[in-house]
Structure 1
Amino acid sequence: MAVIDFLSREERNLFNPAFAGLLVTRAVQGHEQDNSPGCHLLLAVLAPVMAFTAPVRAVLPKNVSSTTVNWIERESAARVHLRQAAPVLGPLVREGLLLSLRAGVLVLDEQHLVRSTGRVPKRISGDTLEVTQIQRASLFLGRWLSRAGDLPTIFTLLGVRP
Structure 2
Amino acid sequence: MINWNREPVATRHQFNPAFIAELVRHTCVGHGKAAGAMPFALAFLAVPLVMYPDSRGTINGASDTQLHTWITKHPAARISLAPRVRALVPYVRLGVAFGLTQRALSLDERGQLIVVRRVKTRGAPTPAIEASDYMKGARTLGRWFGRVGEPSNVFLMLGLTP
Whether these two folds match at TM > 0.5 is yes
Say if 2:34 and 2:143, in contact at 8 Å, map to a contact too: yes
Unmatched segments (≥5 aa) in structure 2: none
Question: Does 148-157 or 20-29 show the bigger shift?
Answer: 148-157
Which residue is 1:53 aligned to? 52
Normalised by the size of structure 2, how large is the TM-score?
0.81
**CA distance, structure 2, for counterparts of residue 5 and residue 20 of structure 1:** 18
**CA distance, structure 1, for counterparts of residue 149 and residue 114 of structure 2:** 20
Alignment of 1:94-133 (within 5 A): 94-109=93-108, 110-116=110-116, 119-120=117-118, 126-127=123-124, 128=127, 129-133=129-133
Alignment of 1:7-22 (within 5 A): 7-22=7-22
Q: Percent identity?
A: 29
Say if 2:44 and 2:85, in contact at 8 Å, map to a contact too: no
Normalised by the size of structure 1, how large is the TM-score?
0.81
Alignment of 1:46-85 (within 5 A): 46-60=45-59, 62-64=62-64, 66-85=65-84
Q: Relative to 1, partners in 2 of residues 1:3 and 1:158: Cα closer, same or farther, differing over 3 Å?
A: farther
Q: Which letter does structure 1 place at the counterpart of 2:19?
A: F
Question: Does 129-138 or 97-106 show the bigger shift?
Answer: 129-138
Q: How many residues align?
A: 156
Deviation above 6 Å: which 4+ runs of structure 1?
A: none
Q: Which letter does structure 2 place at the counterpart of 1:12?
A: R
SS at match of 1:113: strand
Q: Relative to 1, partners in 2 of residues 1:6 and 1:141: Cα closer, same or farther, differing over 3 Å?
A: farther
Q: Relative to 1, partners in 2 of residues 1:5 and 1:160: Cα closer, same or farther, differing over 3 Å?
A: farther
Unmatched segments (≥5 aa) in structure 1: none
**CA distance, structure 2, for counterparts of residue 79 and residue 96 of structure 1:** 23
Q: Relative to 1, partners in 2 of residues 1:6 and 1:105: Cα closer, same or farther, differing over 3 Å?
A: same
Give the deviation of 1:20 after TM superposition.
0.6
Which residue is 1:143 aligned to? 143
Is the aligned partner of 1:24 residue 2:12?
A: no
